[in-house]
Structure 1
Amino acid sequence: MKDRQLLIINELLDKENLSIDELSQALNVSSRTIRNDVDDINRTLSDLSITGISNKRGQLYFCLDLDARHSLSHSLKISSDTFLDPRERQLHIIISFLKAPHQVKIYEEQKRLNISKSTMDKDMRQVREFLAKYSLTLDTQQGAKIEGAERNIRTMIQQLIVENIDISQLTEKGSFEGSDSYQIVIDYLNPQVLKQTNKVAKELILGGRYEGVSAREAQISVLMAIWIRRLQEKQYLDDSQVSTLEIANTRIMKSVNNLLDNLELTVPENEKSYMTFILKTFLGEKEVRIDKWAESELLTLRLIDYMSDIEKINYRDSEQLYEQLNSHISAFLQRQENHIEVFNPLTEVLKNSYATIYQDISAFFKSRYSKNVSAGEKAFITVYFSTYYEESIKENNFYRIAVLCNYGEATGQLLAANISRNMNVEVVAVLGLQDINSLRKLNIDFVVKTINESTGMVPSFKMPPVPRKQDYQELKKFIAKADIKKHMLSLKQSPSVKKNLLKDTISLIESETRKNVSARLVDKLIEIFSEHHIEIKEREVRPMLQDLLTDDKIQIHITANNWCEAIEKTSQPLIKNKSINDDYVVAMEESVKKFGPYIVIGPGIALAHARPEDGVAKLDVSVASLAEPIEFGNKANDPVKIIFVLSAIDSYSHLNVLKAIVDLINKPNKIEELFNTGDKESFKKTLFGVEK
């Protein structure tokens, strides 16, 4: 019998039934091949006087009692752990090569896996193709060894593991037993090390934004376990690979040192910096550099504009989308600079469930971004856009529910929006495991959860984070069985109030909490006021460019000998207006000297800025055209002809101004027209599109 046929028998002895489609997909062959294999198997079994495989509407199964099953196993000399499917074999082969470089021979692996030479040759081709995705090669001159940059090897291991097992089981199950793939991973990472990294992951997450998110906990645990395994094998990064990391988090560094001490490992300092940096980005505790802050805001706005235009959906309206996406992209840019990739366990699900959004995001990065972006990063970004897409469809009759998600806030919001679109629900709360005790305090009908966790007296239903059609059918059955009734949405007309209500509300919140209000909260307040038919003046809180850029802040054809002088002269109207002080001008110049000409945001245009704490009194903007273009040191976008100076005071009020300036990047003709304009009225007409 062929290896594949033995595997089919083995699988059917293990399970009650399997569909032909499932086997076809698992074994990477056509449905016809599976049917032919079953015919061959049945002829062999008939010769042994054993009942063959039955096929009922594409479902395969054995009609054998326990004794007959043992007899079949004995006759064919197979057991439940003898054969692995192609995916499991690929995992086994790569892990074997990693565990003993230059020691494992291909023919030895073939014998160990109990497969034919042709099957092994096919497996090896697939292994090489998989490694090539990470710029890795396989040297088989003297035993097999995976070769390439250490960073790439670690990233490859992460993705290999995520593609083969549900890593959340590593923290949920509390024991290290499971399928063949699961056991291969556990053996490689070492159960004792995983227990240690699980403990560190829980401690780091406690009290942070990802507390109770078991998926993030598992990601961190696996990341550290892979790192430890490579360190134990003395596979270190080059100093050059971590030279740009900025490490300032003593809490994380202390946890890293404690882990190494517990495992009695002494490693180079650059390895400690590497892991501390990775943990910072996974925990959302990054300290964003001023140059990356600017680059992040611009890239976020460009991406939102692109997606709005290409998909004909107004993503620009959501400040929540902007804030969440900007936070992710700021961390993404720092990971890219340090050649660190993240892995996303939901990548394939998101690529299939939100194919158009994923493809459009991919097209944006391919055409508008100079570096390669991993599938995992694009999948994370897909979550944010998919959430807004799902929330764009609302219905009136509803159930009150809470979502309990262990994959993180963004995925929880996506699940909530998906359910809202399909099931007429009002999502009262999206919670992590740390909030589970809050359920009893909520006025809800039931809970949708992504994890097997008791919700006490509150009815609950488990769904995957990206539900399929059949999941909703099961949810409807659950609702019918539990006899849960819908509520009727009633809107009450509220009177109009004075125009500065929004600003007064924000001021009150900031006064009471002693914290700055986020763009997301401002967006939510506007939404709430709108739902209650309360008239507000949003432009008082988030003014447009033309609201701030008055004649006294526009300068035409100023002369400057260098970029420093250009910034200083463009800043003068803001100093005169007491919007900024001299310290802010110095801070802008120092940022360029430290981080390079990042303020040159597009061909011929610069946007000078610094942090609010560097000397900003109020939101404001000024602009100047230069008499002669000036080199700022940006090869791609020099020389600069138009320069803006922006003074931002918070995370939300400047966004409309920034959007208008960013819009100029895509209109080089407009930059040229502004540069050639000789008076303020013509300048304003060109900039704003109409006379002010």
Structure 2
Amino acid sequence: MTKRTDRIIHILLLRPNGMTIHELSENFNVSDRTIRNEINTINSILRRSGLSDIYQNRGFIRLNHAKDDLMKIRELRLSGDDADYYTPKERFVIILFDILTAHQPIFVYQEQDKLRVSKSTIDEDMRMLRKFLSRYALQVMTSVKTGIYIQGSERLIRTMLVDVITQYGDLSRLINLDASYQDTIAQSIQSFMPMSLIKKVRLTYIDKIHEVGVNGNAANDYQLILHSCIWVRRLLMSNQIAAESHDNWQPDEGKIKAYITQTIKKFELEHVAEDEFRYIYFVLNSFNSTFASTTSGWIETQLLTTQLVTYMEEKLELPFSSQEDLYEGLYNHLTSLVYRMHEQIQSYNPLKSIIKSSYADIYQCVFKFMTTYFQEQDITISDDEICYITVYFGTAKMQIERDQELKYRVAVICNYGLATGHLLAAELEHKFNIEVLAVLSMSDIQVLAKLSIDFVIKTIQVDTGQIPSIKLPPIPQESDYLVLKNYLNKNKAAKRAGQINSTNLFDDVLTCVADVYQHIDADLIKSLSVVFKSHHLIVNEKEVQPMLADLLTDDRIQLRKSVSDWKEAIQLAAQPLIEDQVINEQYVHAMLESVVKFGPYIVIGPGLALAHARPEDGAKKLGVSVLTLATPVKFGNKDNDPVSLVFCLSAINNYSHLNVMKAIVRLVADPNKITELSQIDELEAFKQTLFQQELQRK
């Protein structure tokens, strides 16, 4: 039995619903014919053992065997005769962890003897190792006395270790302490990170934070536990980090701090330096979407979210900006992503390859935008992060395109994260006459009893009581959809008509009005809302954001004024909002302080500044004002100074000012218009130039 035949059997054992030959060929990066030949070989082995062939039907395959026969097939896998053969990937992992765990000098010739390879092969393996480590600015060094060792930043070594384990290992089985996970790569990883260490960290995590997967995102929990294990192991090996930018932080009291403190006690880590404590606190918090961000981080994420949604809307010609759930979920995700990118902390996505192939058009658009955005900051964003973002847009696309035919009512239970659960729900609604009433995590399972549903679709084996259920992978393949189709045919659920989307109808009416009258104001929106409510049509007001022209009244526009410096420019721009009691003096002080503390980040484009503070710093209402300067002033931004156009924004949440942000983003992309606006000294002409793109509601 070869490695490939053994692994094909392993995959089929894990996929009781079966799969297609083409899916397997893509998995192994070989032709369908090669897989068919492997299937013939496996059937020969099964026959010699008195077992029936693999079930095949038009390219679909499955181990259609009884329980006892499946146990015999598992035993066949354990009797493979190629235990001494290692693939290049396995040799790479073995060498890396041998170097990292050696208690005495280790030399290349020793690895050659251990792996039973030629001199030329071990030389190629070492070249592969050096090339891989160079991505992290790490070097493989050799010495007659000390043997092979890795030289470079301790932080980058830890980052590299996270990447190796997530790329080459099975993180789910590792963190879940799967005793059967004992292949070559697993054994090498466990030589560095023993199961006993993982178990102790996992139990501490459950004790101080929550049960793994209970919040609906097991993959996120796995990452936090993995980072913790690597941190503990490197400290036990006496490897310390050097202080860096975020090390002045003071960790807040809470679950994360309590968890770190308890971990230190469990492993008897004496005299943990403050730099180390702050390091792991920051890393763990960087996966938390509710992580409190700085003022500069807040506006960066706001702009990034708005620019990304606008870009995707233009490229895919879909009304993504009408999807409130998309904007709010994306903003929360990007808040933590921006922190990870700046600190070179990569996220792990267990469904990356499936997302890339299943949502190729969305992935390509997200990839182009995000790589360009971060390249300007000399930061590389990983495929894992891009695929997480793809999930949000994939969900939104399915929601936009879903039909309004009669539907089965179902609930989805997903333990891979609510974003993945919503993507599965949207995919199901797109492919079948299904209406998903709720996407739940394990902790919300008690809600099922309160829902009027026909059945449950789940991604984990869980008891749903009296409610029928079917288990599917989080991102199903065609073979899985066939199983669901058969299930629907056998279980006739009560179908009900889909509901009218009142908010979409409201937005369509506004668009028609705009086409005729060329303007939408707040009074019209309010009046129309009353009419809808009188007919029992509930409108989600979060989706009805005022436009820049609605908020920027005449008294909030100041043209061609003179100021002495950037501080006076912000104070003058904010004055109309103070007079209208939109903001208070504390808000102005916070705007000035944030520039002093974080630098001129508010200069977001050539000649354009967006003065703002966080909502809790004194914003009372949604509002915006604008100031143009007779003589431009410098804010200290070498790329975009001097500034001639200053907006002052008061935002009270993350969504109501979306249209304002879109208008400002369009200005950033049009430096000539900024110059034109700064030279206008007549109010009506200024408004006509600024609002010309808002003549109809988008």
TM-score (norm 2): 0.81
- Secondary structure in 2 aligned to 1:243? helix
* Aligned partner of 2:381 among 355, 373, 383: 373
Identity %, equivalent residues: 40
Q: CA deviation at 1:564?
A: 0.7
Structure 1 alignment gaps of length 5 or more: 39-53, 67-72, 500-521
Moved more, 287-296 or 651-660: 651-660
Q: In the TM superposition, what whole-angstrom CA distance separates every residue of 1:460-481 from its partner, at most 9, and x where no partner exists?
A: 2222222211111122223334
Q: Does residue 64 of structure 1 match 2:51?
A: no
Q: CA deviation at 1:436?
A: 2.1
Matched ranges for 1:563-602 at <5 A: 563-602=566-605
What is the one-letter code of the residue matched to 2:202? Answer: N
Q: Distance in 2 between matches of 1:691 and 1:379?
A: 33
Q: Distance in 1 between matches of 2:453 and 2:542?
A: 36
Q: In the TM superposition, what whole-angstrom CA distance separates every residue of 1:465-524 from its partner, at most 9, and x where no partner exists?
A: 22211111122223334x233513165899xx999xxxxxxxxxxxxxxxxxxxxxx9xx
* Aligned partner of 1:402 among 408, 411, 414: 411
Aligned to 2:335: 330
| 121 and 403 in structure 1: CA distance in 2 versus 1, 3 angstrom threshold | farther
Query: In 2, are the aligned partners of 1:10 and 1:80 still within 8 Å (CA)?
Result: no
What is the one-letter code of the residue matched to 2:115? Answer: L
| 11 and 192 in structure 1: CA distance in 2 versus 1, 3 angstrom threshold | closer
Moved more, 608-617 or 20-29: 20-29
Q: Distance in 2 between matches of 1:355 and 1:33?
A: 25
* Aligned partner of 2:239 among 231, 235, 238: 235
Q: Does residue 221 of structure 1 match 2:205?
A: no
- Secondary structure in 1 aligned to 2:244? helix
Q: Distance in 2 between matches of 1:688 and 1:14?
A: 62
Query: In 2, are the aligned partners of 1:172 and 1:214 still within 8 Å (CA)?
Result: no
Q: Distance in 1 between matches of 2:158 and 2:167?
A: 14
Output the aligned Cα RMSD.
3.9
Q: CA deviation at 1:123?
A: 4.0
Q: Distance in 2 between matches of 1:20 and 1:446?
A: 30
What is the one-letter code of the residue matched to 2:406? Answer: N
Q: Distance in 1 between matches of 2:430 and 2:23?
A: 30
Q: Distance in 2 between matches of 1:543 and 1:220?
A: 40
Q: Does residue 93 of structure 1 match 2:95?
A: yes
Q: Distance in 1 between matches of 2:46 and 2:121?
A: 26
What is the one-letter code of the residue matched to 2:96? Answer: I
- Compare relative contact order (CA 8 Å, sep 6+) and give the higher one, 1 or 2: 2
Q: In the TM superposition, what whole-angstrom CA distance separates every residue of 1:559-616 from its partner, at most 9, and x where no partner exists?
A: 0000011111112222222222222212211111111111111111111111333333
Query: In 1, are the aligned partners of 2:256 and 2:281 still within 8 Å (CA)?
Result: yes
- Secondary structure in 2 aligned to 1:594? helix
Query: In 2, are the aligned partners of 1:625 and 1:641 still within 8 Å (CA)?
Result: yes
Aligned to 1:159: 163
| 540 and 82 in structure 1: CA distance in 2 versus 1, 3 angstrom threshold | closer
Q: Does residue 351 of structure 1 match 2:359?
A: no
Aligned to 1:136: 138
What is the one-letter code of the residue matched to 1:131? Answer: L
Q: CA deviation at 1:82?
A: 3.6
* Aligned partner of 1:417 among 401, 423, 426: 426
Aligned to 2:303: 298
Q: Does residue 265 of structure 1 match 2:273?
A: no
| 343 and 15 in structure 1: CA distance in 2 versus 1, 3 angstrom threshold | closer
What is the one-letter code of the residue matched to 2:222? Answer: A
Aligned to 2:59: none
Aligned to 2:633: 630
Q: In the TM superposition, what whole-angstrom CA distance separates every residue of 1:251-292 from its partner, at most 9, and x where no partner exists?
A: 322220211111011322111111111222224341111111
Q: CA deviation at 1:315?
A: 1.6
Matched ranges for 1:18-97 at <5 A: 56=40, 61=45, 63-65=47-49, 79=81, 81-97=83-99
| 401 and 539 in structure 1: CA distance in 2 versus 1, 3 angstrom threshold | closer
Q: CA deviation at 1:145?
A: 2.4
- Secondary structure in 2 aligned to 1:642? strand
Q: CA deviation at 1:678?
A: 1.5
What is the one-letter code of the residue matched to 2:656? Answer: S
Moved more, 427-436 or 104-113: 104-113
| 569 and 652 in structure 1: CA distance in 2 versus 1, 3 angstrom threshold | same
| 579 and 115 in structure 1: CA distance in 2 versus 1, 3 angstrom threshold | same
Query: In 2, are the aligned partners of 1:19 and 1:58 still within 8 Å (CA)?
Result: no
* Aligned partner of 1:150 among 150, 154, 160: 154
What is the one-letter code of the residue matched to 1:232? Answer: L
Q: Distance in 1 between matches of 2:21 and 2:552?
A: 67
Q: Distance in 1 between matches of 2:183 and 2:22?
A: 21
Q: CA deviation at 1:335?
A: 2.1
Q: Distance in 2 between matches of 1:658 and 1:493?
A: 26
Aligned to 1:105: 107
Moved more, 184-193 or 55-64: 55-64
Q: Does residue 339 of structure 1 match 2:344?
A: yes
Q: CA deviation at 1:209?
A: 10
What is the one-letter code of the residue matched to 1:181? Answer: I
Q: Distance in 1 between matches of 2:545 and 2:617?
A: 21
Aligned to 1:431: 440
| 307 and 491 in structure 1: CA distance in 2 versus 1, 3 angstrom threshold | closer
Q: CA deviation at 1:679?
A: 0.7
Q: Does residue 185 of structure 1 match 2:189?
A: yes
| 554 and 167 in structure 1: CA distance in 2 versus 1, 3 angstrom threshold | same
What is the one-letter code of the residue matched to 2:296? Answer: D
Query: In 2, are the aligned partners of 1:445 and 1:484 still within 8 Å (CA)?
Result: no
Aligned residues: 636
| 297 and 539 in structure 1: CA distance in 2 versus 1, 3 angstrom threshold | closer
- Secondary structure in 1 aligned to 2:261? helix
Aligned to 1:518: none
- Secondary structure in 2 aligned to 1:392? helix
Query: In 2, are the aligned partners of 1:170 and 1:176 still within 8 Å (CA)?
Result: no
Query: In 2, are the aligned partners of 1:102 and 1:144 still within 8 Å (CA)?
Result: no
* Aligned partner of 2:319 among 308, 314, 319: 314
* Aligned partner of 2:680 among 672, 677, 682: 677
Q: CA deviation at 1:539?
A: 9.7
| 552 and 441 in structure 1: CA distance in 2 versus 1, 3 angstrom threshold | closer
Q: Does residue 387 of structure 1 match 2:395?
A: yes
Query: In 1, are the aligned partners of 2:214 and 2:415 still within 8 Å (CA)?
Result: no
Q: CA deviation at 1:638?
A: 0.9
Aligned to 1:503: none
* Aligned partner of 1:211 among 215, 228, 251: 215
- Secondary structure in 1 aligned to 2:402? coil
TM-score (norm 1): 0.82
Query: In 2, are the aligned partners of 1:350 and 1:379 still within 8 Å (CA)?
Result: yes
Query: In 1, are the aligned partners of 2:108 and 2:148 still within 8 Å (CA)?
Result: yes
Matched ranges for 1:436-447 at <5 A: 436-447=445-456
| 628 and 475 in structure 1: CA distance in 2 versus 1, 3 angstrom threshold | same
- Secondary structure in 1 aligned to 2:171? coil
Query: In 1, are the aligned partners of 2:216 and 2:418 still within 8 Å (CA)?
Result: no
Structure 2 alignment gaps of length 5 or more: 14-18, 51-74, 508-524
Query: In 1, are the aligned partners of 2:247 and 2:279 still within 8 Å (CA)?
Result: no
- Secondary structure in 2 aligned to 1:689? helix
* Aligned partner of 1:534 among 531, 534, 537: 537
Q: Distance in 1 between matches of 2:487 and 2:12?
A: 26
Query: In 1, are the aligned partners of 2:603 and 2:640 still within 8 Å (CA)?
Result: yes
What is the one-letter code of the residue matched to 1:473? Answer: L
Moved more, 609-618 or 655-664: 609-618
Q: In the TM superposition, what whole-angstrom CA distance separates every residue of 1:329-351 from its partner, at most 9, and x where no partner exists?
A: 12122223323222222222222
Matched ranges for 1:519-668 at <5 A: 534=537, 542-668=545-671
Q: CA deviation at 1:533?
A: 7.7
Q: Distance in 1 between matches of 2:221 and 2:694?
A: 55
- Secondary structure in 2 aligned to 1:288? coil
Q: CA deviation at 1:364?
A: 1.1
What is the one-letter code of the residue matched to 2:444? Answer: D
| 381 and 541 in structure 1: CA distance in 2 versus 1, 3 angstrom threshold | closer
Q: CA deviation at 1:669?
A: 1.3
Q: Distance in 2 between matches of 1:667 and 1:590?
A: 29
Query: In 2, are the aligned partners of 1:685 and 1:691 still within 8 Å (CA)?
Result: no
